Chain A
Amino acid sequence: MTETQLQPSETAAPPAMGRETSFIPAIWNRATGIAGRRGFLIAFLVIGALLPLIDRNEGDIDAGANALAYAILALGLNIVVGFAGLLDLGYAAFFAIGAYAYGIFSSYQVQPEWWGFWEPFQWLGLVQHMTSPDGPGTVHFTVSFWLMLPISALIAAFFGVLFGAPTLRLKGDYLAIVTLGFGEIVPIVARNVPYLTNGAAGLNGVASPTLFGYSFGVQSLPFYYLGLALAGLLILISLRLKNSRIGRAWLAIREDEIAAEAMGVNRVKLKLLAFGIGAGFAGTTGTFYVAKLQTAAPEMFMFPVSVMLIVMIVLGGMGSVAGVVLGALILQLLQSVILQDMTQWVHAFGELTGIEFFKQLDLVQSIELIFGIILVVMMRFRRQGLVPERAAVTALTHAQQTAVPTRGAVAGGLAPLHRRPIDANKPLLEIRGLSKSFGGIKAVRDFSLDVMPGSIVGIIGPNGSGKTTFFNLITGLTKPDGGKVLLAGEDVTGLLPHVIVERGIARTFQNLRLFANMTLLENVLVGTHTRTTTGAIGAVLRPPRVRREEGAANERVLETLRIFGNRLMPRVQHLARTLSYANRRRLEIARALVSEPVLILLDEPTAGMNPTETLELTDQIQHLKDRGVTVLMIEHKLAVVNQIADKVVVLDHGEKIAEGTPKEVHSNKEVLRAYLGRSTDAVAEAAAAS
């Protein structure tokens, strides 16, 4: 399926197809998508549960339990790297934190003196009183493994947020290096505070979990099944998060941070959430791993562990839950089975031929070299990994591709685009003396404007006259040097972009900032972010309220997409990057509209559209106004502005040089000079000549 195949529907002829039928592939795809995800989880659990019955080798089961631990770690890191696009190179630090948390609270490492304070804890079974003949005795921590599983997750999540917070303003690369630094610091601290951790020698005597009086001891099988259960649980959590409001916001941040913000995503909060949840997975795994090994040493949590996890994710497929699990299992299999077997074969070959080199060769040692090669080769030739995040989408049928474009409109059934009552007699948007300079260039100078509710205001002006900067100032992407922006009388100057979306101003971008690797449906669903409330816990538990909200959001998105007739509807499961230019513009408008704005800012909405398409969109913008949405649009096509704008504002060199009805503005001498670049005499002559 190539891009060109997707595009020609713009112009071609019959047979026409109804709106309803174009719906079906979307729903079908959704259904199979969910079935596919469940199918993966069930297959994973069933095969995992049966394996020890087939292979009873203790060593293999032990390797299996370790592989599951790494699969969980990779799942956690995938939330940070794969979903939110934040490269964390110090992830092993959280593994260490979870490991030491359980290690310290279940061993004899820390033994404070006994006093009354500890009595309630003893009663709860968290500590034991170690009596001593000469003195009050000491405290022995005996916190249950099962209790520590969630507590370790919380402790690690806390550190995840703590480590993540300072780096969030920075570009992604810096995040990598700072996390690398934290990843170094944690083992150093573990080594340097022997009181807590027994230093480089490592913690000893970590208690083994017990369940209903049955101690796991050093057997592998119970750990294997526990690991399987944990992995299953975390796969479920990953899948549910990914296909939720939270997951879509993460993907949006990964794809385009600025656009995500402008669509109402609070990127700081969501990045911290990704860090926290990712670290939580590692904390739980740390507890599991240490309970299994019954020891914890700083060397177990160094940089190579973090890199190995990255390799698992890259091999399996960034952002792909099934892929990441597969990548982890393949690498563990490679390390603990395949390379060892191969080494034995090579040694046997060496014995046979008497070649010393082959007798000595140890392939297991080359595992890190293999890691390096996997990283380079995958990034070069198959960046989406073995199991890509997205399955291939069914191509449009010939009928769909050649369908006559139906001209949708804002349908009567469309839910009210905005909810708050607006005073029709007061300006909806008041701009007072807005200014912004970049270095010596005054991009916007002392700009004032009133926009009445329910009107369409066109902003025209030569390139570089400050129109887009003006939009950025209103939507909070750029902070003004001076002046005020009032929305329905409320001051919104300098608020964060996502807050401004929440207040009711949505926008599109001149240069198109879609979330390229998300589907149309997901792109527009991100637009509903500020009007929905599902949090991480809701996304995982999926109570009826969340299902309803998700259903309603889908409904509203499809309703909104229908504005554009059959242009976008048949493609809702396609990736945004496969769309034609005009369709991308439409998609941006739809994405902005579902945020239920009172005011929508359109930055050159018809750029790149042919005359027919332009007319169609002009109509659709007119419909928006009829539905009560106020429109502020930058537009170069004067025909569009003349047809629908109630008021036109002309910018030149950052200053407003004219304002009025299209007619008034067109006869303004100043405008003719600045905008058309001719002297008024010449224009007068031209007018006389015609």
Chain B
Amino acid sequence: MESWEILLQQVINGVSLGAMYALLALGFTMVYGIIELINFAHFNIFMVGSFIAMWVMQLMGFTGQSHVLYGLPLTAMLVFVLCVTMVATGVLGALIERFGLRALRGVSGTAPMITTIGLSYILFNVILLGAGADTKNYSNPMPNIRWEFGDAVLHLRELILWGVSLVLMLALHYFVRRTKMGKAMQATAQDQEAARMVGVDVDRVVIITFFIGSALAGAAGVIFGLYYNYTNFGIGYTAGLRAFTAAVLGGIGNIPGAMLGGVLIGLIESLGGQYLAVRWTDVIIFSILVLVLVFRPTGLLGRAAPTKS
């Protein structure tokens, strides 16, 4: 492979990873924007999402690589799997908010975050004990259509995943900017008390935020499975941390920032793995996290520094 081909290939890989991290980062950033809480449960909602999609596909009869679909059936099937998964993880996130976190809202100190760690642990272990520790093969219904640029390869699969992420992000952007609920969210993020006073149902805003963030995490879970063709109980931790770094890099609380940060982290992961060493990837990513927090805590696009207490 020529060097430009390697670079191109790693950019393709990086954007694919980035699309997934961006979706995952959105959940962190939205919840943080609204109630200033780092939601560790988000890590494993993502993981649960990848399992739900796998089970849905298995129920539909897709196992292994046997069924390859084209055109409309493929689109319909992907949309169906995505919708079911997103609704399921969205409901899971909303339940977590309602029964796990609402009682602790406004409690200062470490208690809310510790609760999210506990919730994350519960999700993780329920899947581990229920589905087993082995890595599961994901079915891949997408045809192996590929475009070659020299030795660099772009698969249809990757294009589809980029498209899915893009559509979801645009939909979210529209929702937050244009709808009444989206405006209520922005108001709540700015000042919860003031929003309450002008008639915003803050509890509803928060639970919907959790629903949307978790639904996007579910979509990221589907993308993970389709991209890597496997899933297991442990995928949430690494991906979650990277996505969180993406959210911080872009500017926590900032939705376009999360998208940008996600793609950047994806590129850093793939290019860093190529040109430095895969085994140091996490060290690089965490170093970025620390450097950003120290030197530019507002992130690339954020405005408010995360120092207020």
Contact = CB atoms under 8 A, between A and B. Distances in A.
A171 B115 CA distance: 18
B117 interface: yes
Tell me which of A176, A177, A191, A257 has the highest count of chain B C-beta atoms within 10 A of its own C-beta.
A177
B307 A169 contact: yes
A170 interface: yes
Interface stretch (B67-75, B77-85, B267-275, B289-297): B289-297
Nearest to B28: A177
Contact of B100 (A177, A184, A314, A376): A376
A405 to B, nearest CB: 32
A85 B139 CA distance: 46
Interface in A175-219: 176-178, 180-182, 184-185, 188-189, 191-192
Contacts of B241: 180-181, 184
Contact of A166 (B128, B294, B308): B294
Contacts of B131: none
B286 A181 contact: yes
B200 to A, nearest CB: 24
Interface string A314-331: 100010000000000000
Interface string A246-277: 00000000100110000000000000000000
A349 B244 CA distance: 46
A190 to B, nearest CB: 12
Interface stretch (B103-111, B149-157, B160-168, B204-212): B103-111
A418 B271 CA distance: 63
Contact of B110 (A87, A174, A372): A87
Interface stretch (A35-43, A361-369, A496-504, A623-631): A361-369
A173 B28 CA distance: 12
Given A174-B306, A178-B290, A369-B122, A185 B283 contact: yes
Contacts of B117: 89, 307, 310, 372, 375
Contact of B280 (A174, A192, A365): A192
A69 B291 CA distance: 34
A-B residue pairs, 10 tightest by C-beta: A375-B118, A372-B121, A181-B286, A369-B125, A372-B122, A376-B118, A379-B115, A166-B294, A87-B110, A173-B38
Interface of chain A, main secondary structure: helix
B290 A373 contact: no
Nearest to B103: A380
A257 B100 CA distance: 27
B282 A373 contact: no
B66 interface: no
A379 B121 contact: no
B227 interface: no
Nearest to A88: B110
Given A181-B286, A380-B100, A383-B107, 17 more contacts: A81-B110, A166-B293, A167-B290, A171-B307, A173-B113, A174-B297, A177-B38, A184-B286, A188-B283, A307-B117, A369-B121, A369-B125, A371-B118, A372-B117, A372-B121, A372-B122, A375-B115
B36 interface: yes
B110 A85 contact: yes
Interface of chain B, main secondary structure: helix
Interface string A106-139: 0000000000000000000000000000000000
A188 B279 contact: yes
B293 A170 contact: yes
Given A171-B309, A369-B126, A371-B121, A176 B237 contact: no
A96 to B, nearest CB: 15
Contact of B308 (A171, A178, A185, A307): A171
A374 interface: yes
Interface in B99-151: 100, 103-104, 107, 109-115, 117-122, 124-126, 128-129
A158 interface: no
Contacts of B37: 173
B114 A375 contact: yes
B293 A172 contact: no
A372 B308 contact: no
Nearest to B286: A181
Tell me which of B128, B248, B293, B297 has the highest count of chain A C-beta atoms within 10 A of its own C-beta.
B293
A652 B248 CA distance: 40
A225 interface: no
A85 B286 CA distance: 23
Contact of A307 (B115, B121, B287): B121
A171 B306 contact: yes
Nearest to A372: B121
A320 to B, nearest CB: 15
Nearest to A166: B294
A183 to B, nearest CB: 9
Nearest to A172: B110
A372 B43 CA distance: 14
11 contacts: A167-B293, A170-B297, A170-B306, A171-B309, A178-B293, A182-B290, A368-B124, A375-B114, A379-B112, A379-B118, A380-B104
A582 to B, nearest CB: 24
Contact of B125 (A173, A177, A368): A368
A254 B109 CA distance: 8
A181 B281 CA distance: 12
A172 B309 contact: yes
Contact of A176 (B113, B125, B248): B113
Tell me which of B121, B280, B308 has the highest count of chain A C-beta atoms within 10 A of its own C-beta.
B121
A543 B294 CA distance: 39
B109 A379 contact: no
Contacts of B248: 174, 177
Tell me which of A258, A369, A374 has the highest count of chain B C-beta atoms within 10 A of its own C-beta.
A369
Contact of A373 (B112, B118, B286, B308): B118
